[in-house]
Structures are given as C-alpha cells and as structure tokens.
Amino acid sequence: MDNKDSKFKKEIQNYWTKNVPGLEITSRKFKTDEKEFYIDVDNFRYKYDSYVIPLIDSFTKAGSCILEIGCGLGSDSRYMAKKEANVISLDLSWQNVFFTLKGLSLLNLDGNGICADAENLPFKDSTFDVVYSFGVLHHTPNTEKAIEDIYRVLKPNGKCTIMLYHKGYAYYLLLLLHGYKQLLGIYNKEKLMSEYDHTPLSKLYSKKEINLLFRKFKDLNLEITTYGGIQAHPFLKFIYKLFRHNEFLLRNFGSFVIVKCRK
C-alpha cells in the first residue's frame, strides 16, 4: 500500500470510529458499559432490517467458525454467538471491536475480536466455515482485494454472505442531483458516490459488476432489497412501501444487494 492509500484508509478508519452506526440511537439512554445499551442497539438493528435475522439463520450453525468483517457495535456477532457459533468479529476501528467485545461480555456470550484490515485478513488459508459482512466492503478502497482475501480464508465449500450497495434508485438520484459536478470536474467518481451516505468512500455496484467481483466463487445468488431505515423517513417511506409491493422495482432499483455464494 502506498502512502496515499494508507492515508486514505486512515481517514476511513477515523470516520467509522467517530461515526459508529447505531451509536447515536442509545447514547442518550444508556452508557456503553451497561448491558441495556447493547440490548437497545440490537433491538433497533432488527426493528427496521428484520430480514437480517433469517439471513444470518441461513448460514449459522452451532460450532461453525464465522468471521464477521465490519462488526460495528456487534449486533450481528452477538446474534450469531447466541446461536453458539464460534465468531471472530473484525473491524478497521479498534473502538468498534471494543464495543462488540464489551457487549458479548455483558450478555455472557463467547466471541473474539480483532482490529484489522479487510483487504489483508490476518488468518491462514481455509480457516472459516462462513465469512459474513453487511454493508462494509463498499467502504474499503480495494473491494476486489478484500473479496479475494475472503476467498482465501474460507474453507473449501465455505459460505460467503456479503451485502453491498446496489446501483438502485439512490444511484440515479445521485446522478440527477450531483452528476453535473463530475462532468465539470468538481467531483471524481468516488466523491460523487460518497454523496450516497456522506462518508469518505462509498461505492455502488451493478449486478454485472458484482458477478465480476465474485467470479471465483460458485453458486452465486444475488438478492436485492432496500434499506429498512427509510421506513421512518417522511418521504422515502413511500418508496419503501412501493418497493415492497412491486417486485420489479425492488429487483432493479433496490438499494442493497445481498450476495450469497460458496468457495
């Protein structure tokens, strides 16, 4: 990694340390060293994104060795630990790993955590039964390298479940609102896409691009859904309802693509 990439990744790391998804929800109710904090975080996580639970159920078995890349506050790691999986929670932010391990401890659950880079996983080949990552790998500079490393650390026939941002309605809305800035040279492609969620780096992928990213894997299946949080938005909630009742719109313009495949 050259100095420019290293500096950029440090910026990304600092951003997600200061802007942990879900932290603001409970920050005024409970302290991070209280069990109730993590219970509240988990309840909020699954209130809007209810499809995540059956998704995790589809690959989690007692005794299976699972790597979660981008654990955040640790809701999904805790859910997998409750199902008696052997979970390793990885995040680029040391603080996120701390929160995840704290929550596991307070809820009397087993698990391990590590602060590391998704593009350079510190594990031996063929280590995990499952690698899971929800809404993370589109924020790392070299997503393709991260996916290649996932392939390396998976056991033969191991399962991979990844959520990436999809080039859905939000993508076309970005082009409509900010596309002229790229044409004028004010934004490059990365800056334009980062308007999606105002982070240092975000990338959105088409189905064709995803097929290319996961070309080494077998049994590739893509499921399109949309961000559950928009249910609470005064305007976007109507888009959510519309998509939920129109399979064509959801399949082509949904905001999330869930990638399921095997090594």
The residue ranges of every structural domain in the chain are 3-262
What pLDDT, on the 0 to 100 scale, is given for residue 88? 98
Distance, in Å, from the CA atom of 42 to the CA atom of 22, rounded to the nearest integer, reads 9
List per-residue pLDDT tens for the chain, 263 residues long.
556 667 788 999 999 999 888 787 766 688 889 999 999 999 988 887 888 999 999 999 999 999 999 999 999 999 999 999 999 999 999 999 999 999 999 999 999 999 999 999 999 999 999 999 999 999 999 999 999 999 999 999 999 999 999 998 888 888 888 888 888 888 888 888 888 888 999 999 999 999 999 999 999 999 998 766 666 666 666 777 777 777 777 788 888 999 999 99
List, as one string, the DSSP characters of 171-228: HHHHHHHHHHHHHTTSS-HHHHHHTTTTSS----B-HHHHHHHTTT-EEEEEEEE--G
What pLDDT, on the 0 to 100 scale, is given for residue 56? 97
What pLDDT, on the 0 to 100 scale, is given for residue 231? 61
Question: Checking DSSP bridges between strand 128-134 and strand 86-91, what pairing results, if any?
Answer: unpaired
What pLDDT, on the 0 to 100 scale, is given for residue 1? 56
What pLDDT, on the 0 to 100 scale, is given for residue 122? 97
Distance of alpha carbon 149 from the chain centroid? 16
Whether the Cβ atoms of residue 66 and residue 130 lie closer than 8 Å to each other: yes
Tokens encoding 260? 């399921």
SS3 9: helix
Distance, in Å, from the CA atom of 3 to the CA atom of 217, rounded to the nearest integer, reads 32
From the CB of residue 14, how many other CB atoms can be counted at a distance below 10 Å?
A: 13
39 residue type, one letter: I
What pLDDT, on the 0 to 100 scale, is given for residue 216? 97
What pLDDT, on the 0 to 100 scale, is given for residue 49? 81
Contacts of 35 (CB under 8 A, 6+ apart): 106, 107
pTM, whole model, 2 decimals? 0.91
The class level of CATH for 3-262 reads: alpha beta
